[in-house]
Structures are given as C-alpha cells and as structure tokens.
Amino acid sequence: MPEVPLDFDAVIVAGGRGSRLGGVVKADLQVGGERLLDRVLAAARHARQRVVVGLVDVPEGVRQVVEDPPGSGPAAGLVAGLDALDDPSAWTLVLACDLPGAEQAVPRLLEAAMAGGDADGHCLGSGDGTPQWLLGIHRSDALRRAAADYGDPRQRSVRGLLAPLRLAVIADAEGDGKDVDTWGDYEAWDKRWRMRMETEHEGWGRFVRQACEAVGVDPALVDISAVLDMTREVAHAGARPMAPVSAYLLGLAMGMDADADPERLRRVIEDVATAAPVPKKEKS
C-alpha cells in the first residue's frame, strides 16, 4: 500500500476471545504463517498513531491499552482506544484484530475517505450489505461525539455506538472483510493466504535462481518458505533487527558444513534467537 495523503489514526480492537474457537486469543492465530494482529497492524502502518486494545503482545511503536474492565466488550474497547489517542487525527480507522484480508480492505477505506463527500464514515459491507462495524474509517470528531453520547459502553455493541453516524457502505465483492469467527473461517483464510504465498514465491523463485547463479550456489539448497518462517518467528519474539542476521547465520552454518541438516540448523538458530534477552530499546 503506497503512502497516502490522509491524516488518520488507527484503533485495533483485540480484547475478545473466540468463543466459537474454543476461547483462543484471535489476535495470536497464525494465518498463512503470520499472526493475525500483525497482519492488521501492517494494514494500518500509515496511521499517525496506532493503538491496540487488549491483553496481547504488540510491537515497538504501537500503543497498548485495555478496556476497563478487561473483557467488557468491543464498544468499551473502541472507547478506550479513542481515549488513548493524543491530538487525534482528522480520521480514525477502526479495525478488529481478526481480519486476515485487512491489507486488501484498508486501502479501499482510505480511498473512500480521500474521495470527499459528506459521509461521517465508510465501512466495508458484508455479503448482504450490512456494515462491518469493526472495519471502517470515520471522521474523528463525529466518532468521538457518538462515543460521548453513547454513555457507558460496557457490554454494549459497536453497532449501537456508530448508529448516529451517516455511513457509506463499500461493497466487498472479494470477501476481503470476512473475519475469523469459526475454525471453518480460519481454514478458509489460511488456505487462501498460503495459495497467495505460493504464487508470490514463484516470482521470488526467479530471483533466488538468478542470485544463486550469480554467486555459484545450488538453488535447491534455498527453502524460501522455511527461511521466511524462521525470520518471522525471530521478529515476532521482539528481535526484529536480528531477523536478517538469523538468515545470514543460517547461510554461514550451511557453508561451513554442506552435509548439515538445514531443518535442524533453522530450529537451533530460531530457538536461540527467540530465547535470547532483547535489549530494552528493542522490546515491544
């Protein structure tokens, strides 16, 4: 997603647990090899401020708050997120944490906001046109007025909070706004992402083959998916700057012993890197 000339903040509501998923923390589910919350945060990376509401791990540079009391519902989470924003931007992007297609959906919301018009906000719609209440962007002043007028938000709905706003609904023909409520949803999204990754890897495969030819390395020794998985795990452990270093170490180790088991080396490097103490300035 390119840089966008829009002043906006982002609130990601991540306080709930998936009751139809056996109570797992949705934010921590891995879809296509990447944590759901990280996918959503990536979709909001151009926000001036990003706030995650919930008891989950967040990366450096992202503010974290918890609704009071914890578990008091998405409306309470949204209000807590709004309260945590300093000097609010003109627009506020509101997202759930369980949106695997957020990176495809959010640019459409930003485009709608930049297009002008008199709507207070824009939401992606579900198949029947119903707004996805936690997948939208709103004028911050209108959203804050609605939140103030709503009263006590605990155990109440985001739909009710947003009811006074004039919302424009954007059709979602590709299903990018579908969330993860059931294991069936999870499996469908995981498959969708892995198919996409395979397609992307075909393109990267050409790069790997050309690079290997240039430096005299057998391309068969390069397992793109495995290396990406290893560096992703290192980054998720809070040691983001060490992710490329871990890949370099793997290459050195393989170069020193051509008969070494690459899978064992990846596990060793991943385990050591994720267990190592992270410098305070690098901690999430």
- In CATH, what is the architecture of 8-170? Alpha-Beta Complex (3.90)
Local confidence pLDDT in tens for the 284 residues of the chain: 445 679 999 999 998 766 667 778 888 988 887 888 999 999 999 999 999 999 999 988 899 999 999 999 999 999 999 999 999 999 999 999 999 999 889 999 999 999 989 999 999 998 778 899 999 999 999 999 999 999 999 999 999 999 999 999 999 878 888 888 888 888 888 888 777 766 655 566 667 777 887 888 877 777 777 787 778 777 766 667 778 888 888 888 888 887 888 888 888 887 887 776 666 654 44
Task: Report the pLDDT value the prediction gives residue 86, as an integer from 0 to 100.
Answer: 93
CA 95 – CA 39 distance, rounded (Å):
11
Backbone angles phi, psi at 170, to 5 degrees: -100, 125
Query: Would you tell me how many other CB atoms lie within 10 Å of the CB of residue 61?
Result: 10
Structure tokens at 73: 């519902």
Give the bridge partners for 9, in sequence order.
92
Task: Report the pLDDT value the prediction gives residue 200, as an integer from 0 to 100.
Answer: 59
Structure tokens at 58: 């967040």
Domain coordinates in residue numbering, the chain: 8-170, 183-275
Task: Report the pLDDT value the prediction gives residue 7, as an integer from 0 to 100.
Answer: 94
Task: Report the pLDDT value the prediction gives residue 251, as an integer from 0 to 100.
Answer: 84
